[in-house]
Amino acid sequence: MVTIFRNARLLTMDPALGSLGEVPDGVVVVRDGRIDRVGPRTEVLGDSVLGGSEDVGSGDTGRDDAGSGVGGPGESESGPEHGDWEVVDCAGGWLSPGLVDCHTHLVFGGSRADEFRRRLEGESYADIARGGGGILSTVRSTREASDEELVESGALRATALARSGVTTLEIKSGYGLDVDTELRMLRAARRIGERTGLRVRTTLLGAHALPPEFAGDRSGFLRTVIDELIPLAVDEGLATGVDAFLESIAFDAEECRAVLQAGRDRGLAVRLHADQLSDGGGGALAAELGARSADHVEYTSLEGVGAMAKAGTAAVLLPGAFHYLGESRVPPVAAFRQEGVPIAVATDANPGSSPVLSMPEAMSLACIHFGLTVEEVWLGATRIAADVLGLEGEAGVLVPGARADLALWDMEGPTDLVYWRGNAPLQGLWSGGRRLRL
Ligand code: NIG
Ligand code: FE
């Protein structure tokens, strides 16, 4: 099956083309779910029937009936010898890679709306957590939820993200905190990918909080994570990454190191919730372990930034949590830039600190609160986020060989996506070459 997207302004994110890799009158040829060719119309289609010039910026939108067949097998020089093909007229819209949300906690039971209300009335996130609320309240609800409830509610949230342009998302465990529920969460995450047609990467976040049954026995809990949970999750192929929460209300550096090393030894990519509410040396620990990313990083020191730069560890900024928790300390963005630390942006979608189900909103918040540029947030929500998930050249870019995950936007230019909030101008979304009906 071949699909030709034409009459598009491309945001390829191809570093070889600089900036956002823009191609003003571009074409993407998709073959069997992967990008086959991409570039200017004149180069890709030449003087074939489909290569005729057209006014970019006029014509029908791609929203309805994009994909009506033009020509047919053998009728065009650019057509395949055999099989179906179709043309999508992008009508001068902007075609980018599907957005990549590289940090979410989308699978959970229950609601924390009541805690949100309490925080509005003055209680702090950390106080609520210390009082048995926070993450532990979601743990109780998640343990009670059935597999189907976890899949059903998570799929609804994933679909909301897709409506904001997301085709690849990471989902963490961490609300089970017992072996059975953690594995159920990871299986639910996998099924959400199958049900929605989105690509889901899964991360084992066993060391998220100390569950009540292990109160007073921190090392007992960590042994369970290291000796039971990680091996079982790896043997069942349920996770691609391992994560931990390094914070005074969660686990210290030594505890996180032990868990992350155990995951790494079994082939999992390392991530770390680092320096969100205080400087716990998270940037340096992530770097020491060769982590793909340190996430949150509001309090990361300059030493930590330097270590991350040397190790090639990316910073994943999570402005939703910063925004909802009313934080004031911003991540050391200038130092990340100066040292060349790659910066990604994600929703951190979760029921407590970041009830955010839109990547463009997260991107907009990153611009407003953290001072990222339009170019930085687009790259941080596509190519760099894909790299954080180990999907280099596979997601977050429009280059030959990548999976055909495409988002078609009705906007004047890339700034529009982060300028207005509340109405992502998405006209069409394709995952692995298949159009998603959202
Ligand atoms: O990334 N920081 C730790 N974990 C989540 C919050 C989880 C929760 O409050 O439920 C986060 O913000
Ligand atoms: Fe998180």
How do the pLDDT tens digits run along the chain, 438 residues long?
999 999 999 999 999 999 999 999 999 999 999 999 999 999 998 877 677 654 433 333 333 334 433 333 223 334 555 568 899 999 999 999 999 999 999 999 999 999 999 999 999 988 998 888 999 999 999 999 999 999 999 999 999 999 999 999 999 999 999 999 999 999 999 999 999 999 999 999 999 999 999 999 999 999 999 999 999 999 999 999 999 999 998 999 999 999 999 999 999 999 999 999 999 999 999 999 999 999 999 999 999 999 999 999 999 999 999 999 999 999 999 999 999 999 999 999 999 999 999 999 999 999 999 999 999 999 999 999 999 999 999 999 999 999 999 999 999 999 999 999 888 899 999 999 999 998
Q: Which residues contact 120 (CB under 8 A, 6 or more apart)?
A: none
Q: Which residues line ligand 1 (CB under 6 A)?
A: 105, 134-135, 138, 245, 273, 276, 321, 348, 350-354
**What pLDDT score was predicted for residue 46?**
84
Q: Is the dihedral of CA 116, 119, 125, 131 positive or negative?
A: negative
**What pLDDT score was predicted for residue 345?**
98
**How many angstroms is it from 112 CA to the middle of ligand 1?**
12
| Ligand nearest to the backbone CA of 209 | 1
Pairing of strands 293-296, 166-172: unpaired
Half-sphere exposure of 251 (CA within 13 A, CB side): 29
Identify whether the C-beta of residue 263 lies closer than 8 Å to the C-beta of residue 182.
no
**Closest Cα to residue 29, out of 74, 73, 87, 71?**
87
**How many angstroms is it from 127 CA to the middle of ligand 1?**
14
**Helix/strand/coil for 241:** strand
Atom of ligand 1 nearest to the CA of 134: 9
Atom of ligand 1 nearest to the CA of 125: 9
Can you tell me the distance from the alpha carbon of 187 to that of 110, in angstroms, rounded to the nearest whole number?
18
Can you tell me the distance from the alpha carbon of 161 to that of 99, in angstroms, rounded to the nearest whole number?
9
**How many angstroms is it from 146 CA to the middle of ligand 2?**
23
Atom of ligand 1 nearest to the CA of 129: 9
Can you tell me the distance from the alpha carbon of 438 to that of 151, in angstroms, rounded to the nearest whole number?
17
| pTM listed for this prediction | 0.93
**Helix/strand/coil for 397:** coil
Pairing of strands 269-274, 241-244: parallel
Distance of CA 334 to the CA centre of its chain: 23
**How many angstroms is it from 350 CA to the middle of ligand 1?**
7
Can you tell me the distance from the alpha carbon of 131 to that of 235, in angstroms, rounded to the nearest whole number?
36
Can you tell me the distance from the alpha carbon of 60 to that of 65, in angstroms, rounded to the nearest whole number?
10
Radius of gyration of the chain (CA): 22
**What pLDDT score was predicted for residue 60?**
38
Nearest CA to ligand 1 atom 12: 353
**How many angstroms is it from 348 CA to the middle of ligand 2?**
5
Q: What are phi and psi of 102, to 5 degrees?
A: -90, 10
Site to probe by mutation for ligand 1, drawn from 170, 350, 354, 356 as the one with most ligand atoms within 8 Å of Cβ, is: 350
Identify whether the C-beta of residue 411 lies closer than 8 Å to the C-beta of residue 417.
yes
Nearest CA to ligand 1 atom 3: 245
Amino acid sitting at position 350:
N
**How many angstroms is it from 30 CA to the middle of ligand 2?**
34
Nearest CA to ligand 1 atom 1: 348
**What pLDDT score was predicted for residue 49?**
67
Nearest CA to ligand 1 atom 6: 353
Tally Cβ neighbours within 10 Å of residue 140.
Answer: 15
| Ligand nearest to the backbone CA of 325 | 1
Strands (E), 246-346: 269-274, 293-296, 314-317, 343-345
Question: Nearest 5 degrees, angle CA 416-CA 371-CA 288?
Answer: 120
Can you tell me the distance from the alpha carbon of 187 to that of 184, in angstroms, rounded to the nearest whole number?
5
Tally Cβ neighbours within 10 Å of residue 179.
Answer: 15
**How many angstroms is it from 352 CA to the middle of ligand 1?**
6
Amino acid sitting at position 235:
D
